[in-house]
Structure 1
Amino acid sequence: MTFIDAVKACFGKYATFSGRAGKAEFWWFALFQFIVLLVLGMFSNLLYGLASLALLLPALAVGTRRLHDIGKSGWFQLIWLVPFVGWILLIYWLVQPSGPANAYGDGPDAPLPEDVVPGAQ
């Protein structure tokens, strides 16, 4: 997944908290969010605040889908509120590779049926 694909996917699933998101989708969107907020913060506090509000929901949604990808509930994002230990644990979870199919669905990198059986429609 490329940078542009990840940003489009996150805005396309603006408030979708179900399903799974791979590492690339999550980290590319995190980079996009960081760059946008950094640039807008240089110009205006008002623009920074508006962009923060606009990007909050898709950031929470992609974070939830990323945790679903490793088999954890999206509510584990709240561990971020625990200083240092919570931050380290959450970052550790977010860099884990995608797991196999779980209760939240197939993995984001799961092959499509036509990739498994050539000629299948």
Structure 2
Amino acid sequence: MNYFLDVLKNKYAMFSGRARRAEFWQFYLFMVIGIVVFGGIGSVIRFPALVGIFYFAMIVPFIALSVRRMHDVGKDWWYIFIPIYNLILYCTEGTRGPNEYGPDPKGAVTADTLNTPPSTY
């Protein structure tokens, strides 16, 4: 739920940077839950457009998050339009360390550990 709220509050239309798999899939999960809930509420109160309003409110952050997810795997934004391949990329682990789109959202640091002796013996 924290990722969902973070995207809505801080990254609503942010198309630059990178997004982790957890951020993408948790946002997607709560968006689907919201569509089901607002669809149910809309049918109970006889206002079916309620789910459409929710959906259109979520389309911009979802596209922005999808673009940032593509950036995490090192691809350009237009890969979100390739039907099956984009699903594979959504499930793929992101590039470790910084790439051309920004720093690693996991905070992983790539270091040369083979040639560096440990700090304490």
TM bracket (short chain): 0.7 to 0.9
Q: Tell me, yes or no, if the aligned pair for 2:74 and 2:94 is still in contact at 8 Å.
A: no
Q: Relative to total residues, which structure has the larger helix share, 1 or 2?
A: 1
Aligned-pair distance for 1:77?
1.2
Q: Moved runs in structure 1, 4+ residues, more than 2 A? A: none
**1:43-72 CA deviation, whole Å, 9 max, x = no partner?**
322110100110000000111100100001
Q: TM-score, normalised by structure 1?
A: 0.79
Indicate which of 18, 21, 39 corresponds to 1:20: 18
Aligned runs of 1:1-121 on 2, under 5 Å? 4-11=1-8, 12-44=10-42, 45-79=48-82, 86=83, 88-100=84-96, 101-111=98-108
Question: Residues of 2 paired with 1:23 and 1:5: CA distance?
Answer: 14
Question: Residues of 2 paired with 1:58 and 1:15: CA distance?
Answer: 6
Gaps of 5+ in 2: 43-47, 110-121
Pair member with larger Rg: 2
Q: Which letter does structure 1 place at the counterpart of 2:93?
A: P
Gaps of 5+ in 1: 80-85, 113-121
Question: Residues of 2 paired with 1:24 and 1:35: CA distance?
Answer: 16
Q: How many residue pairs end up in the alignment?
A: 102
* Map of 1:116 onto structure 2: none
